[in-house]
Amino acid sequence: MEEKTGIRRDARISADALVELTWKDRMGQEKFAKARSLDVSETGMRIEVPEALDKQAYVTIRSSALSLHGTASVRSCTRKGTKYLVGLEFSGGLKWRPKKS
């Protein structure tokens, strides 16, 4: 299902896929988490992760199911129950394209 709302530049498409993240926390420690994507667009995605991420932090993302590997910037992080919903904006020229059927 596509959804384009508010200030979004690109339509979001629902996407339930495994996403592996790596980043450095405020102390410079290397962190790793497995996340679940909720939706994706050409320039970003929303994921659900087990711990909070700092806004404007850069993360490396990898998802073979979505054919994505690159970096993204954390634009938002909101607690939802025991998980966190994180909005990512792709960086370094990374773009997502739906697979052609």
In terms of C-beta density within 10 A (0-12 exposed, 13-18 middle, 19 or more buried), how is residue 36 classed?
middle
Three-class SS state of 30: strand
pLDDT at 3: 45
CATH number of 2-91: 2.40.10.220
Residue 9: what pLDDT? Answer: 64
Residuewise pLDDT in 10s, the chain (101 residues):
444 445 556 788 899 999 999 999 888 899 999 999 999 999 999 999 999 999 999 999 999 999 999 999 999 999 999 999 999 999 999 999 887 75
86 CB neighbour count, 10 Å cutoff: 26
Q: What is the pLDDT of residue 97?
A: 87
For residue 26, the model assigns a pLDDT of 84
Buried b (16+ CB within 10 A) or exposed e, 49-78: beeebeeebebebebeebebeebbbbeebe
The structural domains of the chain, with segments of one domain joined by +, span 2-91
- Name the H helices within 9-49: none
Task: Judge contact between 59 and 49, C-beta under 8 A.
Answer: no
Integer Cα distance of 72 and 91 in angstroms: 5
